[in-house]
Amino acid sequence: MGTPVAVIGAGPYGLSVAAHLRARGVPVRVFGQPMVSWRENMPAGMLLKSTPAASSIDTPQAGHTLGDYCTHTGEGRYESDWDLIPVETFVRYGQWLQERLVPELERVRVASVDRVADGFELKLGSGEQVGARAVVVATGLSGIAQLPPELAAAIPDGPSAAGPVSHSSQHHDLSALAGKDVVVVGAGQSALESAVLLAESGAASVRVVARGRSAVGFGAPPDRQPHFRPRSPFGNAWSLYALTRHAGSFRHLPVPTRRFLVRRVLGPLGAWWLRDRFVGRVQVTEGRRIVRARVRDGRPVLALRGEDGQGGELAADHVLAATGYRMDLAALDFLDQGLRTEIAVRAGGPLLDAGFGSSVPGLYFTGLSAAASFGPVMRFVCGTEFAAPRLARAVARTYG
């Protein structure tokens, strides 16, 4: 095999790109643990917000959709918009797809990536050094969890599942917080579902703190979607249709518009099926933002203030920040610092061309790291249908 293309990451985007590259005959080496973020950084019992039609990993070969997996293994069928997909099922689906289409996956960490004269040099956690003509970064949520600075200031050693403050990505088993008073910060799906799972796992009390008035809301069920608007994987709306079906045009929008759309579209909003489990079980403090946080006698204490200037303190046994993720090149510390400084950044992420290539020749980004160029659809599994074929085609054209 000639000098390969390296794919870093083995979640939906990494596996999809690898399958497309292999189908084009491009030598490829894929590094990472399969579906690791979904296995370790999502809470047990979580349900996917996307519908079954929007939850398949794109591949060039037929027979590898979520429905095909269910047929092959005998798991329950997920077909209609009313069917809810457990995260555990989706993880097994991703692992099944990996075993069939990317069997050569190398379950090893990439410690560093440096530029060399004829491409890139990767140093693996095993100590092996690997040459690559091109590198595809598909590391998903790894290392880019966002914590409000007011919370971060209270925990100099950083968030921890066992400490007074954590990020939602640090919890797989929320029953570890059973018997505790927990405050969840955020108003998106992650925050509201985490709050429900905490209540159902035996937390003594659960309270959601959300900025803005009437910040906690839930989407409409499938039969209440406006039928005169076009369908998208996330609901019936012209804006959602445009952002999912015409992602290639997104990068031509002005930078401020792109930044706004990535942060605001498709959130914060809970799924329609979460409402009944939430109401009556979770307390809500709306219209209050955290202005200061401290830890007193091992317990976090939040100072809150509203737009009216009124405030107060809120103490708990634990604060869980379900405050999402934000692309930060500094978090991709496996990329050599000199290499990172060469990457042009716009709208909060790498500036990418139509083939997902960055300003560094041979360095590509996909998944969440591509959202600043191609829109919020890159935050979801269905974005693999747009991203992987285009990226693979661009790589094959130059490095195949």
User: What does the CA dihedral 375, 376, 377, 381 come to, rounded to 10 degrees?
Assistant: 130
Q: Is the peptide bond before 230 cis (omega within 30 degrees of 0)?
A: no
Among 363, 361, 297, residue whose Cα is nearest residue 329:
363
Go through the domains of the chain in sequence order and give each one's CATH number.
Answer: 5-143+325-399 (3.50.50.60), 149-219+269-321 (3.50.50.60)
Q: Give the long-range contacts of residues 48-51, CB within 8 A, separation 24 or more.
A: 48/84, 48/85, 48/86, 48/87, 48/90, 49/189, 49/234, 49/271, 50/85, 50/233, 50/234, 50/380, 50/381, 50/382, 51/81, 51/83, 51/233
Q: In this structure, are strands 134-137 and 363-365 parallel, antiparallel, or unpaired?
A: parallel
Its sign, for the CA torsion 81, 382, 371, 255, is negative
Phi, psi angle pair for 95, to nearest 5°: -65, -40
Give the pLDDT of the chain (400 residues) as one tens digit per residue.
457 999 999 999 999 999 999 999 999 999 999 999 999 999 999 999 888 988 999 999 999 999 999 999 998 888 888 899 999 999 999 999 999 999 999 999 999 999 998 899 999 999 999 999 999 999 988 878 888 999 999 999 999 999 999 999 999 999 999 999 999 999 889 999 999 999 999 999 999 998 765 568 888 887 776 665 656 666 655 566 666 776 777 777 787 777 777 666 666 788 899 999 999 999 999 888 899 999 999 999 999 988 777 778 999 999 999 988 888 888 898 999 999 999 999 878 899 999 999 999 999 999 999 998 998 888 889 999 999 999 999 999 998 7
At 69, which helix (H) or strand (E)? helix 66-73
